[in-house]
Amino acid sequence: MTTIKDSRVLRPVLLTARFWYYLVVQSPAIWGCVRSRQRKPWRTVFADVLALWAHWRMFPFHYFRYRLYEGRGQTRADLREYIPEFYFYHVFLPKLHDPAYTALLQNKIMLHKMLAMKRVPTPNVLMWTEGGGLFDATCSPLDPARAEGALQPCTRVFVKPAGGMGGEGIRVFTRTAAGVLENGNGDVLDSPYLGRLCSEGDFVVQEGLQQVEELNRLHPRSVNTLRILTRTEGPAVCPLVAILRMGRGGTMVDNSAQGGLSCEVDLDSWRLRGPAHSEHPVADYAEHPDTGLPFTQELPLKDAVRGLLESAASLFPKSRLLGWDVALTVSGPVVIEVNVHAGIDHLQITCQRGLKHDLGIER
């Protein structure tokens, strides 16, 4: 695996602007250090900050974001492994992406069209709204009354904003005993609703997935998905890190921003490497709080997932570092979406270690 060397020099104007932005955003984390009862002695905190500042050539806001000021037996070398968010998003990633790809990959409608060209397995897209119109999976215009008929075989349907992130704005409809698709707010997914949806913006309407039993046992109400970070080097696609995201408390989505849990997956053994972590609220779990299952089991479909990522990544040769959301279904793995920014903070918080070495960053 090749390594990527950075320039060590940041443009002063950009650095200054971003410093003040991060100071505002990360101020709660800094105050968390001030109030913490697990904080190292102040002289050690100051020494850590100065060492990381010298190493990364930027103020280490991530030291507070990841609560590295707490005594966890980590050495100074361990602390240097944590990648600052500013460095990752504004120094490292731009070297690996063509900006023209970013908007396409972040739009679920465009992503579906591109993956469909190579027949990469994805959730069954029933229809989507775009530009005020309703279209079926073949891009043909669809009348809302006729579209309602396409929903009849479905027991669960997900309506997702085309540009949504972090699970925000997802609406889940489940078939009731009365035979209608209804969500928790009492909305019914029928032709009038689809008509209104067209005027609200761009949405993707997907049929729910049937996940493998191993994940169903962990949390059956949500589709529990893998987030896998890969780097493409020529024809080779190299998985760098993987985590499993799970719902909890009966939620139907697994996103951490919606209260979900995340657990690292060992890339060699394909086993969960607990504990799992929750960001909202911050907590660690040796077993799932709803089902009581420990986070130690081996996941299925390892080779199939690797083959899926190799096929899908070849569609984006100018995006060399991507975060893939993959569901393990009874029919095989499917790509849920692709993330250009990959969420380095979420990955490092879940793995509870820095990922500089995993990503091949040299400083």
Are 188 and 74 in a shared domain?
Answer: no
- Quick: pLDDT tens for 252-285: 778 777 788 999 999 999 999 989 998 878 889 9
Are 141 and 89 in a shared domain?
Answer: no
Structural domain includes residue 116: no
CB-based contacts of 351, cutoff 8 Å, min separation 6: 241, 243, 264
Are 232 and 341 in a shared domain?
Answer: yes
Query: Of the candidates 127, 131, 158, which has an alpha carbon nearest to the alpha carbon of residue 144?
Result: 127
Decide: 345 and 85 in contact? Cβ < 8 Å. Answer: yes
Are 222 and 200 in a shared domain?
Answer: no
As a 3-state breakdown, the chain gives helix, strand, coil percent values, each rounded to 5, of: 35, 25, 40
Domain boundary among 146, 180, 207: 207
Structural domain includes residue 113: no
Are 351 and 332 in a shared domain?
Answer: yes
Structural domain includes residue 250: yes
Helix axes 99-106, 108-117, angle to 10 degrees: 100
Structural domain includes residue 114: no
Residue 129 belongs to what domain range?
125-207
Residues in the chain: 363
pLDDT score at 71? 81
Both tokens of 50, joined, read 């100065």
pLDDT score at 30? 87
Structural domain includes residue 120: no
What whole-number distance in Å separates Cα of residue 363 and Cα of residue 66?
A: 20
Are 140 and 220 in a shared domain?
Answer: no
Alpha helices in 213-256 (DSSP H): 213-218
Are 342 and 309 in a shared domain?
Answer: yes
Counts for the chain of helices (H) and strands (E), in that order: 12, 15
What distance lies between CA 145 and its chain's CA centroid?
A: 35
pLDDT score at 86? 87
Are 227 and 331 in a shared domain?
Answer: yes
pLDDT score at 144? 84
Are 103 and 136 in a shared domain?
Answer: no
Domain boundary among 177, 207, 237: 207
Both tokens of 158, joined, read 């997900």
Say which CATH number the domain at 265 has.
3.30.470.20
Structural domain includes residue 296: yes
What distance lies between CA 101 and its chain's CA centroid?
A: 18
pLDDT score at 9? 52
- Number of structural domains (the chain) is 3
Both tokens of 112, joined, read 């579906």
Q: Using 50 as the pLDDT threshold, list the residues of the chain that sit under it.
A: 1-2, 4, 6-7
Backbone angles phi, psi at 43, to 5 degrees: -65, -35
Decide: 288 and 251 in contact? Cβ < 8 Å. Answer: no
Decide: 246 and 263 in contact? Cβ < 8 Å. Answer: yes
Structural domain includes residue 39: yes
pLDDT score at 83? 97
CB-based contacts of 186, cutoff 8 Å, min separation 6: none
pLDDT score at 250? 76
User: pTM of the entire structure?
Assistant: 0.87
Query: Of the candidates 252, 312, 276, 297, which has an alpha carbon nearest to the alpha carbon of residue 118?
Result: 312
Domain boundary among 157, 187, 207: 207
Q: What burial class does residue 119 get, using C-beta atoms within 10 Å of its C-beta: 0-12 exposed, 13-18 middle, 19+ buried?
A: exposed
DSSP-based three-state secondary structure for 354: coil
- Distance of CA 23 to CAs 50, 86, 194, 257, 274, Å? 16, 12, 43, 22, 32
* 123 upstream amide cis, omega within 30 of 0: no
What whole-number distance in Å separates Cα of residue 252 and Cα of residue 223?
A: 7
Looking at the DSSP bridge assignments, the partners of residue 133 are 130
pLDDT score at 1? 47
Are 243 and 169 in a shared domain?
Answer: no
Are 286 and 342 in a shared domain?
Answer: yes
